[in-house]
Structure 1
Amino acid sequence: MDANDQVVITGLGVVSPIGIGCHDFRQSLLEGRSGVQVIPYLRGLVAPAPIGGVIPNFDVTDRIRPRKALKVMSRDIQIAFAAADLAVQEACVLRSGISPERLGIVFGTDLIPCELDEIAPAVRGCLVDGAFEFGRWGRRAMSDLYPLWLLKYLPNMPACHIGIALDAQGPNNTLTLGEVSGLCAVAEAVRVIQRGQADVMICGGTGSRIHPAYWGRSRAYPLSKRRDDPASACRPFDADRDGTVHGEGAGAIVLERRRHAESRGAAIYAEIRGFANTSRSTKSNAGLAEAIARAIRLALESADLSVRDIGHVNAHGLGTVADDEAEALAIHRTLGDVPVTAPKSYFGNLAAGTGVVELAVSLLAIRHGFVPPTLNYHRADPRCPIRVVHGRPLTGSSPAAVVLNHTPTGQVASLVVASP
């Protein structure tokens, strides 16, 4: 890649079930500490098991500005703002004298469900003899909602709030693509810089699947039934896996052209070397495996790297029987015996927050020289013929990684990052 096109990462922020900020997040990875637990407000749920990756001790009052913006911030927006703020602080980019017109935002989000206590009065106002009357919604129910209610739940609002707080007047965009949202946001931010439309981009992803609305309607993936031992529930690639786990989290990174970063003396985590986005041709496992394999090959080609250059794979690793088998086959066919780690074993499926929180695992691995083990991997599955890192961190591997995500509808994102 031409030096003028090299885009590097200079800041990282994480808000996750295993830590807020890079230090606590990294410590949990080193200690093998899970963030999956029984969700307090779902404790009485019979099925599915009321377990998930919950962010502990998240106090928004000291993290949001202006404070009045909290009135129109859902949980997804709050954790996105906090992650972006951490990344910007670490990069020291605002003290570099950057013009607001050259600072932009791209964020990946999910559809954001409404808090039940906010919508309950409106729903009750539409009940007639215990039945919901849809015809009453426009006339009656809207009067029971906070006038700015909708602003709390629009998917584009994380990017908007971050942009307003930072006075970022450059490109501002949002991608709502499920689990691939975060990695696709990173790829788009890289392209914005390479097109010359910004000098610095803040990008990331945010999502929360521990909201009760997801439990009532989400059937995209089988969920683990291990309610008696939540920490062991998500078991990517293990022969005894029985489903994934919901979670919540947000991650953000600061991107800039290498020359821009070096000119201001910024510390560099890694370089974005390549990216690919594919989709499966059929609903079969074979179709998903082929799409993942193609994404890996295209990303390596884009990065101008070979299999020998890759130190580890950061797998999507849902913990479901079918998805893990398809992903493992794709990794085996394209990358052979390259070590694989699966971060969802620590915190579950973070929806649109998945990509950049998991990318943070590889960035810390590159910076600190270790690949964290996959939790709960005890018995190899012959249908998943890959080298899963487990038991203890892996050291001494090449400082380059392939990061993978895919969605239940078959979209695949593959990102290659490497030591600067």
Structure 2
Amino acid sequence: MNRSDIVITGVGVVSSIGLGREAFTQSLLQANSGVIELVDSTVGDRNATARFKFEEGHSGPTQPESAVEIGAPITEFDPKQYVKPRKALKVMCREIQTSFAASQMAIEDAGLTSLLPAEPAELAKKSGRIAVERIGTVFGSEMLYGDPEELADAFAACKTEADEIDRSKFGNAAMRSITPLWMLKYLPNMPACHVGIAVNSHGPNNTLTVGDVSGPNAVLESCGYLRRGIADIMVAAAAGSRMNTTRTMFTEDQPLTGASDPVCRSSRPHAKDAQGIVRGEGAACLILESGESASSGNRKPIARVLGMASRFVPSAAFAAGQFTSSSEKNAGRGSSAAIEIAIQAALSDAGLTANDIGLVVGHGMGDPVIDAQEAEAITKALPGVPVTLPIGLLGHTGAATGMLGLIAAVVAAQRGVAPPVAHASDCPEPLNVVASSTPLTQPNVIALSHTSHGSATAIIVSAT
């Protein structure tokens, strides 16, 4: 099977700029940002502590620099509309809920709802449903952080009369006060597990936890299963968050930015004045099929997968083991070499050249160090090609970031339009950042994703 025989028949999105493919598309093409000022009533108590700034060289949170705290939360999501049976919500943290919902949206978008759950092959022949071994699930995930309040009683029981914590008491205290199902809410492989159970998938199942490239790598692996003929349909998804209360206490190696005026334009990837990322959350899913499977089921493809590549060239900071809170030591974050060779490999895989690409969906996030690495790679491998930057609307969504970028590429290819970037005039000239919605001059769109350590992916899609 050639790469071009793999098609996308369904898209599901749970994001700060819309739920579902159509809402996401409209917001993307109109540059409607999901970045808002955070208040307790906006996203609930779970984000009430998402108020911290991290000073350069400081290992812990400080007081806010200003009264305005920002993020890109999902504000209109009700998991009860998507999760069935509802009792499953008891063992789903927010990321699992959003990934399950995105998967259900994608399944419906592909017209597969009446064909699932899958059945054993003999029964499937009679009922017309999907055979259990011919559908699989591969998800991108990450460390899923729990709510501190869930552990509060256990820690309180460890308090001594001297007002200190006796760690030796925690084991017994946790056994008494933490629900036995607590861990199931936070295992990174549970999103794929829940969806696999829901659709009765007995085909390939895997979870990838490789940072921002988790989602695109899930797509690469899913396409590998389709090419090898061990599945006809793959559910590929990713979910992530930097909004979780516990997650806000841990910034890794990337700086945060403050609020801009207006607040909705605070996420400024590749801008000359960019200072850091905006926290966000989201989930996205693609239904990938062989062309034969889609044709036999009378499912109209949304887009076609033409080429893909995953590469790793260690960044200078990673090679030196210097990932700390100090921006001086982190000057070597990101790898332009990895991004560049991923682009070249994807072009080769698709049998295309740079002149055949109509749009680059960049992974720029507002971190000036990493954005500079991406800019260097794009200007070398895809000079002059228009660039759009969806993280400017969505913020950084952890493991969902790369998949949401790929969804943006699918949308752009399917509509034949380059989504605009509101701050395009503030981006460096060598990058041809899209200032207003314009028709694509070529039908092929390449989506990039990469990490500070040196992993990079490139996936090329086109309209069918």
What's 1:16 paired with? 15
Residue identity opposite 2:143 in structure 1: L
Which one has a bigger Cα radius of gyration? 2
Pick the aligned partner of 2:459 from 395, 415, 418: 415
TM-score (norm 1): 0.94
Q: Which residue of 1 aligns with 2:432?
A: 387
**Residue 375 of structure 1 pairs with residue 419 of structure 2:** no
Contact 1:222 1:320 in 2 (8 A): yes
Whether the 8 Å CA contact 1:8–1:257 is kept in 2: the answer is: yes
Assess if the C-alpha contact under 8 Å between 2:93 and 2:185 holds in 1.
yes
Report the number of matched residues. Answer: 416
Cross-structure match for 1:401: 445
2: CA distance, partners of 1:212 / 1:397? 44
SS of equivalent residue, structure 2 residue 316 = coil
- CA positional deviation for 1:232: 1.6
Residue 443 of structure 2 aligns with an amino acid whose one-letter code is P
Matched, 1:178 2:197: no
Distance 2:256 2:2 in 1: 45
Instruction: Give the 3 Å change call, closer, same or farther, for CA 287–205 of structure 1 in structure 2.
Output: closer
**Identity value in percent:** 38
Relative to structure 1, the CA distance from residue 44 to residue 331 in structure 2 (aligned partners, 3 Å threshold; closer, same or farther) is closer
Q: Report the alpha carbon displacement of residue 12 of structure 1 after superposing the two structures with TM.
A: 0.3
Counterpart of 2:298 in structure 1 is 265
What value does the CA root-mean-square deviation take over the aligned residues? 1.9
Find the counterpart in structure 2 of residue 358 from structure 1: 405
Describe the shift of the 1:305–1:77 C-alpha distance in structure 2 as closer, same or farther (beyond 3 A).
same
Is 1:207–2:206 an aligned residue pair?
A: no
Alignment of 1:93-172 (within 5 A): 93-96=112-115, 97-128=129-160, 129-172=162-205
Closer, same or farther: CA 42–297 of 1 in aligned 2, 3 Å: same
- Give the secondary structure class of the aligned counterpart of 1:57: coil
SS at match of 1:223: coil
Q: Secondary structure at the match of 2:306?
A: strand
What's the counterpart of residue 310 of structure 1?
Answer: 357
CA deviations over 1:166-217 (Å, ceiling 9, x no partner): 1112111110111100000000000011111111000010011101222212
Match of 1:88 in 2: 107
CA distance in 1 between counterparts of 2:309 and 2:365 reads 20
What SS does structure 2 have at the residue aligned with 1:313? strand
Task: Please say if residues 12 and 284 of structure 2, whose CA atoms lie closer than 8 Å, have aligned partners that are also in contact.
Answer: yes
Residues 50, 243 of structure 2: 8 Å contact kept: no
| Of 286-295 and 215-224, the range deviating more from structure 2 | 286-295
Q: Are 1:291 and 2:338 matched, yes or no?
A: yes
Equivalent position amino acid for 1:362 in 2: A
The answer as to whether partners of 1:38 and 1:227 remain within 8 angstroms in 2 is no
Q: Give 3-state SS (helix, strand or coil) of 2:29's partner.
A: helix
Report if aligned partners of 2:358, 2:386 keep a CA contact under 8 Å in 1.
yes
Cα deviations across residues 282-302 of structure 1 (Å, max 9, x unaligned)? 426597111110111111111
The match for 1:345 among 389, 392, 395 is 392
Determine helix, strand or coil for the equivalent of 1:226: coil
Distance 1:234 1:151, change over 3 A: same
Q: State the alpha-carbon separation in 2 of the partners of residues 412 and 43 from structure 1.
A: 29
Q: Helix, strand or coil: the match of 2:138?
A: strand
Q: Which range is displaced more, 131-140 or 23-32? A: 131-140
TM score, norm. by length of structure 2: 0.86
Q: Counterpart in 2 of 1:25? A: 24
